[in-house]
Homo-oligomer: A and B are copies of this chain.
Amino acid sequence: MQPYELSAAEAATLIAAKELSCEELARSTLAHIEAREPTVRAWSYIDPGQVLRNARELDKAPPAGPLHGLTFGVKDIIDTADMPTQYNSPLYVGHRPGKDAACVAVMRHSGALIVGKTDTVEFASSGRKAATHNPHNPAHSPGGSSSGSGAAVGDKQVQLAFGTQTAGSVIRPAAYNGTYAIKPTHGAVSCEGVRSASHTLDTLGWFGRSVEDLQLVARAFRLLGAEAAKPVELRGLKIGLCRSPAWEVADPYGRAALLEAGRRLEAAGATVFELDLPAPFNGLIKAQQLIARAENGPAFLSEYVGPKRHLLMRNYLDVVENVSGITPAQLIAAYDLAAECRRSFDAMFGAQLDAVLTPSSPGEAPEGLACTGDPVFNGLWTLLYAPCVAIPVGASPRALPLGVQLVGPRFSDMQLLEIAQACAPAIYENSILAAQA
Contact = CB atoms under 8 A, between A and B. Distances in A.
Contacts of A220: 305
B346 A342 contact: no
A328 B199 contact: no
Interface in A183-242: 187-192, 195-196, 199-200, 220-222, 224-225, 228
A339 interface: yes
Contact of A336 (B97, B189, B192, B342): B342
Contacts of A222: 297, 301, 320
Nearest to A202: B199
Interface residues on chain A, size class: 35 or more
Interface in A279-316: 294-295, 297-299, 301-302, 305-307
A106 B305 contact: yes
A99 B109 contact: no
A328 B298 contact: no
A199 to B, nearest CB: 5
Q: How many monomers of this chain does the complex have?
A: 2
Contacts of A71: none
A200 B224 contact: no
Contacts of A53: none
Contact of A98 (B98, B301, B326, B343): B98
A328 B225 contact: yes
Contact of A332 (B221, B298, B411): B411
Contact of A302 (B106, B225, B343): B106
B196 A195 contact: no
Interface in A300-357: 301-302, 305-307, 320, 322, 326-328, 331-332, 335-336, 339-340, 342-343, 346
Contacts of A200: 187
Nearest to A103: B302
A100 interface: yes
A410 interface: yes
Contacts of A326: 224
A102 interface: yes
B106 A188 contact: no
A54 interface: no
Contacts of A105: 302, 305-306
A190 B302 contact: yes
Nearest to A109: B305
Nearest to A222: B301
A412 interface: yes
Interface in A395-416: 410-412
Given A187-B200, A225-B328, A301 B106 contact: yes
Given A95-B98, A98-B95, A339-B336, A224 B322 contact: yes
B109 A187 contact: no
Contact of A224 (B331, B335, B343): B331
A187 B301 CA distance: 13
A9 to B, nearest CB: 20
Contacts of A336: 339, 342-343
19 contacts: A96-B98, A98-B98, A102-B298, A105-B306, A106-B302, A110-B305, A187-B199, A187-B200, A190-B196, A190-B301, A191-B199, A192-B195, A221-B298, A224-B297, A224-B322, A224-B326, A225-B327, A339-B342, A339-B343
